[in-house]
Amino acid sequence: VNDFRNVSLSMLQAHFKKAQEQQQVGRVEFLPVNWHSSLHSTGVDVDLERITLPSINRLRHFINDTILDVFFYNSSTYCQTIVDTVASEMNRLHQLFLQRNPHFKGGVSIAGHSLGSLILFDLLTNQKADPEEDEHCAQQSRTTSSMGGIEEVKEILKKLELSEYCDVFEKEKMDRQALFLCTEKNLQEMGIPLGPRMKILHYISSETEMKLSSGCTHKAPVTPAQRLSHEQNLNVPLSQVSANYPQLNYKPTIFFAFGSPIGMFLTVRGVKRIDPNYSLPTCKGFFNIFHPFDPVAYRIEPMIVPDVEFEPMLLPHHKGRKRMHLELKEGLTRMSVDLKNNLLGSLRVAWQSFTRSPVPALEAGSTEAEAEADAEKQP
């Protein structure tokens, strides 16, 4: 935790020094949430020690201290203990922080590593959104849909060169669905002349016929098995159903998952696909951050968009250099290229020396002797 604090302070001074001097941004406080000690204080360690084999002690103790927490979380008894401890500790730390910092108005983000990220994901999945907020979102959605319908009717009238009647349809709150339900009598009551009425009715008739023909030709019937399979893929609960998840006293802004096995656990629970429109009820931001060599980390994007393959985004190092595994990879690549070029150059020279036509030594010696004799004969 202290390392997180020191790194965040150094990043503020390096990248946001001016904003920090003007008090536009404050420091980031990191508060650790400990749930491991509460779980192992129940005496389960003594029971495990009693049944553990005496061979390979270090490996067995490592498994008991780390990997067994995954099995504890999958147990209905210990899962309830874990989520209760995590939620109560998060609420306690948040309340204590507000008491010590009464003027704090910033956002609260949460982060979890490995199994901790899965616990937070299940906890956030089972949070209950504010009913007033849901009603506000629904009202906003209805308003947006209504405005979109009016604009669509205006586009249709513009296409039919009847833009002068847009105010009439807007006054009657006509959207596309209402327009396609209109009869000639309705249009006449709205004060639309005969010529424009015929254009609108012809457009409605042609669009309806086109929709019916395309639907009969291209839309394949959905069998009950396909419909059931689709509903199962989307409606499988994301979290464990055996636990009663407590509610948090605040709404996190962002959820950071570090080295997270969330994708693997969702797949094991039978979740094959996550609806792209799904979001955590009280937390709208989610980042799945992992190291490519982390054996515990899994991706989540293929479960949301299974038909699209794309590489994960590379996060730059806060000190400006590349990650160690990337530097090592590039260094080995350069070394192999240099070694390959040197080896090919040596082989090329050796091959040229082997393929060069030999010159007889005696013939060369006699030629030199004849040249010297000719030089002596000359006056």
- In which residue are the tokens 């969702």 written? 266
Which residue from 127, 190, 179 is spatially nearest to 156, judged by alpha carbons?
179
- Cβ-defined contacts of 140-143 (< 8 Å, 24+): none
Spatial distance between the Cα atoms of 302 and 310, rounded to a whole number of angstroms: 9
Is 180 buried (19+), middle (13-18) or exposed (0-12) by CB count in 10 A? middle
The amino acid sitting at 107 is G
Spatial distance between the Cα atoms of 367 and 348, rounded to a whole number of angstroms: 32
DSSP for 104-158 reads: ------EEEETHHHHHHHHHHHTPPPPHHHHHHHHHHHHHHHHHHHHHHHHHHHH
Strand partners of residue 337:
none
Known catalytic residue: 75? no
Which residue from 29, 31, 33 is spatially nearest to 106, judged by alpha carbons?
29
Cα radius of gyration (the chain): 37
Strand partners of residue 255:
110, 286
Spatial distance between the Cα atoms of 180 and 177, rounded to a whole number of angstroms: 5
Catalytic annotation, pick one of 8, 88, 109, 114: 114
- In which residue are the tokens 């060599």 written? 293
Structure tokens that stand for 224 in this block: 């009950």
Structure tokens that stand for 88 in this block: 């109560």
From the DSSP assignment, how many helices (H) and strands (E) are in the chain? Answer: 18, 3
Q: Are 347 and 355 in contact (CB under 8 A)?
A: no
Which residue from 269, 254, 256, 257 is spatially nearest to 303, judged by alpha carbons?
269
The amino acid sitting at 273 is R
Instruction: Name the residues annotated as catalytic.
Output: 114
